[in-house]
Amino acid sequence: MGKEAFPMYMELSSESSFTTFYANSKAGTLGEDSDVSPVRDCREMIYEAGEEWPMMTFTLVLLLIFIAKFIYGKKKNMPPGRRGWPLVGDSFNCLFGKWAVVSADPIFNRFVMQNEGKLFQSSYPKSFRDLVGKNGVITLQGYEHRRLHAISSNLMRFDKLKFHFLNDIQLIMIQTLNNLHNNQVILLQDVCRKVAINQMVNQLLGISSECEINEMAQLFSDFVDGCLSLPINFPGFTYHTAMKAREKIISKIKKTIDKQRQPAGSTQVSNGVLGRLLEEESLPDETISDFIINLLFAGNETTAKTMLFAVFFLNQCPTALNQLLEEQQGLTSNEMLTWQDYKAMPFTQCVIDETLRIGGIAIWLMREAKEDVTYQDYVIPKGCFVVPFLSAVHLDENLYHDALTFNPWRWMDPENQEKRNWRNSPFYSPFGGGARFCPGAELARLQIALFLHYFVITYRWSQLKEDRMSFFPSARLVNGFQIRLMRRHEHMKSSD
């Protein structure tokens, strides 16, 4: 498929990794689905946008309303890229039309992330802010943002996982996976979503009874769907259902807060993030609700899709699957895994890193320049959108040999150790960086590792339908990864 076939595209300049682009809103049609390929070129991800226009996420709406028109230049000016008037479909420009700088330059991306709140700030449409809440860590700016970010990082930091999350994650994992039976045909995409939602219900609200989890999981699921839908707040639309789910989730949170405030000893509040937040911090009720809902939004799809993609990649690389299985089967614990077990999974960690590199869910970030920003020879005007394109860096052949190939062993190479430091590395930043660095990163990694453990030691599977990744309207496998499960042993660990 040539890019000429697409009514919108952008190019990363060969002279520089910046592109400035201005775009229209009219997505066109794509040709036939291309051949099955596990990893697709970043440009193809952009191309695919035309295919599924009606369901775009808010970030995509922002991105796709811009079309590339470039000018090359090295003067003190806008970063290189042709510019001009949109060719067709001006309707959105008067609403949203703004310049955008898309960057595949790791050093510039880091500069943007590290200047969050100073030169740049994250920027979301009102419909999204209404849904996730204007008092949450994602939507707040400045001092309030820093405060909530510190609280969330503290609640989920590495050394707390051992006490607060390790066993609960396993109980919920076993409970959820135990509902699958031998020879069952499943869409793994749906199962991973269920696993991640059940985990969120348990970890955020501290609920562990299966029946209560199922009730809340439905609300969580409706809410998450709304974050990926067109913002039409009218009965029958996904966004409307999500707004209703938001109200019910808030009401549940408020009930828990009320219980907590009853005299000591009269009730027992479970120890989810909410319970600990109430114990350790004093925040207004509205802030607490939005805080929890923000975590739900940020932590659910990201984790679910990384679990899914990991199995998808392993499925295509039997040597890696066998090595991971061997590692997991070799762990010492007979019952629940211990913290020592978690720390003894070096190859599984490589699989997670490699999955995040080529199947990174946060393919780009969205920022807005707060003022005219001078960077090297360029000036990025105030109000301009800036898009650090994380996946473009992760898939850069100059940084990663055979970049489109799933190769978990690359992370064992001593030469890659510095690059691998996902907290600081400009070349590998699946969890972002700077003031908005993902506070749930360690928790997500623990959940994914435990999912891989229980999934691979319990089941073998055969793929029933070909599949491929797509990032529009959100990260997914186009056919949901249809597989038949076969239990390895009939004695899966029980949660009882």
Q: Which is nearer to ligand HEM, 201 or 373 (CB)?
A: 201
Closest among 311, 366, 393, 349 to 61, alpha carbons compared: 366
Give the interface segment with ligand HEM, choosing from 208-216, 403-411, 427-435, 452-460 (CB under 6 A). Answer: 427-435
Provide the 3-class DSSP secondary structure of residue 379: strand
User: Which segment (56-64, 72-80, 317-325, 359-367) binds ligand HEM by CB under 6 A?
Assistant: 359-367
109 is a site residue for ligand HEM (CB under 6 A): no
Whether the CB-CB separation of 426 and 405 falls below 8 Å is answered with no
Q: Which amino acid is at 428?
A: Y
Q: How far is the CB of 471 from ligand HEM (least distance, A)?
A: 13
**Of residues 51 and 368, the one with the C-beta less far from ligand HEM:** 368
Residue of 221, 289, 294, 349 interacting with ligand HEM (CB under 6 A) = 294
Q: Which of 101, 131, 138, 337 binds ligand HEM (CB under 6 A)?
A: 138
Which one, 365 or 450, has the nearer CB to ligand HEM?
365
Q: Strands 185-187, 482-487: parallel, antiparallel or unpaired by DSSP?
A: antiparallel
Stretch of residues binding ligand HEM (CB under 6 A), selected from 48-56, 216-224, 236-244, 300-308? 300-308
Q: Where are the alpha helices (DSSP H) in 49-141?
A: 58-64, 93-96, 106-114, 126-132
Query: Do strands 81-82 and 70-71 pair parallel, antiparallel, or not at all (unpaired)?
Result: antiparallel
134-170: buried (b, 16+ CB within 10 Å) or exposed (e) per residue?
Answer: ebbbbbbeeeebeebbebbbebbeeeebeebbbebbb
Nearer to ligand HEM (CB atom), residue 79 or residue 440: 440
Annotated binding-site residue? 350: no
137: contact with ligand HEM by CB under 6 A: yes
Of 152, 348, 416, 458, the one binding ligand HEM by CB under 6 A: 152
Ramachandran region, residue 388 (left: φ > 0; alpha: ψ -120 to 50; beta: rest): beta
**Burial category of 268 from C-beta neighbours within 10 Å (exposed 0-12, middle 13-18, buried 19 and up):** exposed
Cβ at position 73, least distance to ligand HEM in Å: 29
Contact assessment for residue 300 and residue 440, using Cβ atoms and an 8 Å cutoff: no
* Rounded-to-integer distance, Cα 138 and Cα 440, Å: 13
Q: Is 447 helix (H, G, I), strand (E, B) or coil?
A: helix
231 binds ligand HEM (CB under 6 A): no
Nearer Cβ to ligand HEM (197/483): 197
How many Cβ atoms from other residues are within 10 Å of residue 122's Cβ?
Answer: 18
Residue 149 contacts ligand HEM per CB under 6 A: yes
Among 86, 133, 226, 430, indicate the residue that binds ligand HEM (CB under 6 A): 430
Chain residues 312-341 in contact with ligand HEM, contact rule CB under 6 A: none
Token pair for 316: 């295509």
Residue 302 within binding range of ligand HEM, rule CB under 6 A: yes
Segment contacting ligand HEM by CB under 6 A, of 4-12, 64-72, 166-174, 293-301: 293-301
Is residue 299 close enough to count as binding ligand HEM by CB under 6 A? yes
Residue ranges in contact with ligand HEM by CB under 6 A: 122, 137-138, 149, 152, 294-295, 298-299, 302-303, 306, 361-362, 365, 430-432, 436, 438-440, 443-444
